[in-house]
Amino acid sequence: MKFRDGMWLTAEGMRVEYAEDVYNITETERGLSLLCPSRKIFSRGDTLNQSTITIDIEAASDGILSVETTHWAGAANRGPHFDLFPDGQPKIEPQVSKSDKGTTLSAGALSATIHPDQHTFDIRFHSTDGSKPLTSLLNRSVGLAYSPAPSNPMQTGDMRDFKHYMFTQTTLGIGETVHGLGERFGAFNKVGQSITLWNADGGTSSDQAYKNVSFWLSSRGYGVFIDTPGKVDLEIGSERCSRVQTSVEGQRLKWYIIYGPTPKEVLQRYAVLTGRPGQVPSWSFGLWLSTSFTTNYDETTVNSFLEGMKERDTQVDVFHYDCFWMKAFTWTDFVFDSERFPDPKAQISRLKKSGLVKKVCVWINPYIAQHGAAFKNAAEKGYLLKRRNGDVWQWDLWQAGMGIIDFTNPEAVKWYVECLNELFDKGVDCIKTDFGERIPTLDVEWYDKSLDPHKMHNYYAFLYNKVVYEALQARYGTTEAVLFARSACAGTQRFPLVWGGDCESTPEAMAESVRGGLGLGLGGFTFWSNDIGGFEGYPAPWIYKRWVAFGLLCSHSRLHGSSSYRVPWTIDNDDKSEEGCSRTLAKWTALKTRLMPYLYAQGAKAAENGWPLSLRAICLEFPDDQTAWYLDRQFMVGDALLVAPIFEESGEVEFYLPKGKWTSFFTNRVRDGPGWFKEKHGFSSLPLYVRENTILILGKSGIKGAVYDYVEDVEVALYHVKEGASAELLDNQGNKLGTLKIGANGELEGKSLLKGSYTTSENGHEVDESYSSTIGWL
């Protein structure tokens, strides 16, 4: 939302008042409170008939300061509120000092300094040691606005016809870039964009997002978390080119500035503030196969899919039943379609005993269709969201007469968990928590009447996924729970995992998905997936195969479509050649299986720190490389593997390697960065480069499925290692076994942790020479 018309004019219909003076600074228990009139005070008479803004700056934790701007403090601060510091708030002793530079508040490594001149509105955020200026609040950067503009202050005695906004404008440095704000599918660098944080079911080709996360990361070594689940409007260098404007409707605006100085350290501190991702089970890293959305299926169809995959040398670890495991017009009533699944418990049991699949997932959403068995019970007992007149809130969008589960009602939560447990009793191991974006804000009344319906719109995703995730944990154990969720807000990273939503079957949509995954990873989400081959439409064989290569190098990998299947033989008429869809899928699934010792250990490390596993933006690993902050067609998998997906049918690709030695995984050819490179690949490879000083542990060739012994018969590949290089060893339950590392004499230490006939290879792993003929070095 823009409040001005260029530099000189106020936007039509707006009245804007700015904090012009710092009239008084008061020390508080946790920091400083600034009384800021909306005009400069030179005499007592100047204090009359004007607004003031209170700016409270507090030490929240080491390296974290909160900034809250308030106009009328008597306005109710209704919930819901983000669940901050879920593991407990670290103790911090605020430090206040005064000098000729002004009044400074320090929270460990981060400080804010207020200019000593009352009439110079200037608040600088910087590292406490003075080495790193971050951002500032300068002249006309904190304010309030009315719409429409009142012509007389008396009119504000009745605010029913006015909207009131609070805004701040933090400075953007020259060359500074901004990233994150959720799973956004547009340009990776947000400078120049207007962004609204409001969950919507808009696909992957618009400015709407399923996952709006009110946190952004700056290339200058800090991040900003906006502490409201309500709608937030941002003008990122798009109202004033040198500022990021944040605005909300209401009487207060609060955000936290988080210092690094590295982006990884910013995310670590952000994870302390909003929560660390849970660890996911090893089996979830394997290949997931769906029935597709609208296609018909029954036990025979499901078995034919899985038997066909096995015949074509691809192991499926998780089979997913999408919407039509329930009858049409009944979603979600938790009742299997008895015509197609007369005995679902027995069917699921047979499926697992066959060895065709390890785990089973089913689709649900928080919407209860009127014609389903669950609706009457839920409506009568008050488990559904209501209108203000007491009616159940319903509409016919998506499902006829659907209502929405009211997760603010403890009894509704209990009932919903009972429904889930009935699925678990039938053998369901994990849940796809779809939807949760279209949550109404008008003419609604939640069970908890203290809540603000507008704030509930985004926050609903947190409650929904929390309920299902914790139900899975209660049934299967803390580290065995996993979702496949579409909607999210800040904090939802605690309930992994999420996928990218409804993308088209085009190379452009694959690139959109890459950008979405990169952005979401910068919001603390460790695990992410997408619909391999695209969801909407019918992918051409070449698109499917390029997407398979990309999708199997994401943390989680799922084949899923809308009106067509994604089993490979339906894509290319069962081409059995080495370059066909089936062999391509088999090869990439086998590669991910071999990478499991690395992926699982890196996933645990990433979750502990609030980092993305894959897709990890290159700038997280190389923050001093300016080019890295603009790379949105490639990513890291953990800290050692660099991936550049291919978007051209020809197989040509251009990519960037940061400074250092990089070894092609497929050929062991070494490239020296920094620099741009071009290659041409067949369908069995892409630019997959291993960073120097890496110990890469690979599972034994030929193993099927993601779960096996990650220290038995492994290959330990050394990539230009030096003293201190290391690799963590985990078993397939996530237990830490120890560390392999390079000692002072250059020898590999910790080999006693390995079992069976392990091998060690120098400067690369044992490659398949056939790749040399399919990779062109352009």
Q: Is residue 285 scored above 90 in pLDDT?
A: yes
- Collapse the DSSP code of 253 into the 3-class scheme (helix H, G, I; strand E, B; otherwise coil) and give the result: strand
What is the structure's pLDDT at 191? 98
What is the rounded average pLDDT of the residues 110-125? 98
Q: Is residue 397 part of a domain?
A: no
In the chain, how long is the greatest CA-to-CA distance? 87
Contact between 14 and 149 under an 8 Å Cβ cutoff? The reply is yes
Could you tell me how far CA 22 lies from the centroid of its own chain?
Answer: 38
Q: Is 6 left (phi over 0), alpha (psi -120 to 50) or beta?
A: left
> What is the sign, positive or negative, of the torsion defined by CA atoms of 724, 727, 729, 730?
positive
Phi, psi for 284 (deg, rounded to 5)? -70, -15
List the strands of the sheet with 252-259, edge to edge. Answer: 24-27, 31-37, 52-61, 64-70, 252-259, 222-226, 212-218, 178-182
What is the rounded average pLDDT of the residues 113-118? 97
- Collapse the DSSP code of 413 into the 3-class scheme (helix H, G, I; strand E, B; otherwise coil) and give the result: helix
Task: Give me the amino acid identity at 233.
Answer: D
Quick one: 252 and 360 in the same domain?
no
What is the rounded average pLDDT of the residues 188-211? 97
What is the structure's pLDDT at 257? 98
What is the structure's pLDDT at 295? 82
Q: List the CATH number of the domain containing 419.
A: 3.20.20.80
For residue 261, how many other CB atoms are within 10 A of its CB?
18
Q: Is residue 382 part of a domain?
A: no
Quick one: 194 and 339 in the same domain?
no
Quick one: 592 and 666 in the same domain?
no
Picking from 560, 578, 609, the residue at the C-terminal end of a domain is 609
Quick one: 590 and 705 in the same domain?
no
Quick one: 591 and 661 in the same domain?
no
What is the structure's pLDDT at 59? 98
- Residue with structure tokens 């330990």? 716
Q: Is residue 418 part of a domain?
A: yes
Beta strands 64-70 and 178-182, pairing class? unpaired
What is the rounded average pLDDT of the residues 736-765? 95
Q: Is residue 45 part of a domain?
A: yes
Contact between 138 and 216 under an 8 Å Cβ cutoff? The reply is no
Residue 383 per-residue DSSP state = -
Quick one: 121 and 189 in the same domain?
yes
Percent share of the chain, pLDDT over 90 = 98
What is the structure's pLDDT at 747? 94
Q: In whole angstroms, what is the distance from residue 111 CA to residue 124 CA? A: 8
Q: In whole angstroms, what is the distance from residue 346 CA to residue 331 CA? A: 22
Q: What is the pLDDT of residues 389-398, one digit of tens each?
A: 999 999 999 9
What is the structure's pLDDT at 769? 87
Beta strands 715-719 and 163-171, pairing class? unpaired
Contact between 612 and 497 under an 8 Å Cβ cutoff? The reply is no
Q: In whole angstroms, what is the distance from residue 268 CA to residue 178 CA? A: 18
Number of H-type helices and E-type strands within the chain:
11, 43
Q: In whole angstroms, what is the distance from residue 467 CA to residue 251 CA? A: 31
Strand (E) positions, 379-447? 403-404, 430-433
What is the structure's pLDDT at 567? 96
Q: In whole angstroms, what is the distance from residue 107 CA to residue 109 CA? A: 6
Tokens of 380: 């009568």
What is the structure's pLDDT at 296? 82
Q: List the CATH number of the domain containing 227.
A: 2.60.40.1760
Residues pairing with 125 in the sheet: 112, 135
Q: Is residue 398 part of a domain?
A: no
Q: What are the C-alpha distances in Å from 271 to residues 199, 248, 459, 494, 728?
A: 22, 24, 18, 9, 22
Question: Which has the closest alpha carbon to 481: 416, 433, 529, 413?
Answer: 433
- Collapse the DSSP code of 87 into the 3-class scheme (helix H, G, I; strand E, B; otherwise coil) and give the result: coil
Contact between 430 and 472 under an 8 Å Cβ cutoff? The reply is yes
Contact between 348 and 428 under an 8 Å Cβ cutoff? The reply is yes
Residue 343 per-residue DSSP state = S
pLDDT band at 328 (very low <50, low <70, confident <90, very high): very high
Percent share of the chain, pLDDT over 70 = 100
Tokens of 535: 């969801």
User: What residues are annotated to the active site?
Assistant: 434, 437, 502
What is the structure's pLDDT at 45? 95
Q: Is residue 53 scored above 90 in pLDDT?
A: yes
Torsion, Cα 679 680 682 688, to 10 degrees, reads 10
Q: What are the C-alpha distances in Å from 62 to residues 35, 115, 256?
A: 25, 23, 12
Phi, psi for 479 (deg, rounded to 5)? -100, 10
Structural domains in the chain (count) = 3
Q: Is residue 275 part of a domain?
A: no
Quick one: 604 and 626 in the same domain?
no
Tokens of 384: 């559904």
Q: In whole angstroms, what is the distance from residue 568 CA to residue 728 CA? A: 35
pLDDT band at 166 (very low <50, low <70, confident <90, very high): very high
Picking from 576, 609, 642, the residue at the C-terminal end of a domain is 609
Quick one: 754 and 696 in the same domain?
yes
Q: List the CATH number of the domain containing 661.
A: 2.60.40.1180
Quick one: 723 and 765 in the same domain?
yes
For 120, the domain range is: 4-76+89-259
Q: Is residue 75 scored above 90 in pLDDT?
A: yes
Q: Is residue 735 scored above 90 in pLDDT?
A: yes
Quick one: 496 and 525 in the same domain?
yes
- Residue with structure tokens 């056939």? 770
Tokens of 708: 């096996």
3-state SS of 699-723 is: CCCCCCCCCCCCCECCEEEEECCCC
CB burial readout 429-454, b (16+ within 10 A) else e: bbbbbbbbbbbeeeebbbbeeebbbb
What is the structure's pLDDT at 697? 98
Picking from 577, 609, 641, the residue at the C-terminal end of a domain is 609
Contact between 115 and 121 under an 8 Å Cβ cutoff? The reply is yes
What is the rounded average pLDDT of the residues 579-596? 98
What is the structure's pLDDT at 292? 87
Give the mean pLDDT of the chain.
97
- Collapse the DSSP code of 169 into the 3-class scheme (helix H, G, I; strand E, B; otherwise coil) and give the result: strand
What is the rounded average pLDDT of the residues 328-338? 96
Q: Is residue 381 part of a domain?
A: no
Quick one: 581 and 634 in the same domain?
no
Question: Which has the closest alpha carbon to 412: 363, 458, 460?
Answer: 460
Could you tell me how far CA 397 lies from the centroid of its own chain?
Answer: 27
Q: Is residue 312 scored above 90 in pLDDT?
A: yes
Q: What is the pLDDT of residues 217-260, one digit of tens each?
A: 999 999 999 999 999 999 999 999 999 999 999 999 999 999 99
Q: In whole angstroms, what is the distance from residue 460 CA to residue 443 CA? A: 17
- Residue with structure tokens 């597709």? 292
Quick one: 205 and 337 in the same domain?
no
Contact between 357 and 315 under an 8 Å Cβ cutoff? The reply is no
Q: Is residue 272 part of a domain?
A: no
Between residues 295 and 122, the one the model is more confident about: 122
Q: In whole angstroms, what is the distance from residue 65 CA to residue 223 CA? A: 11
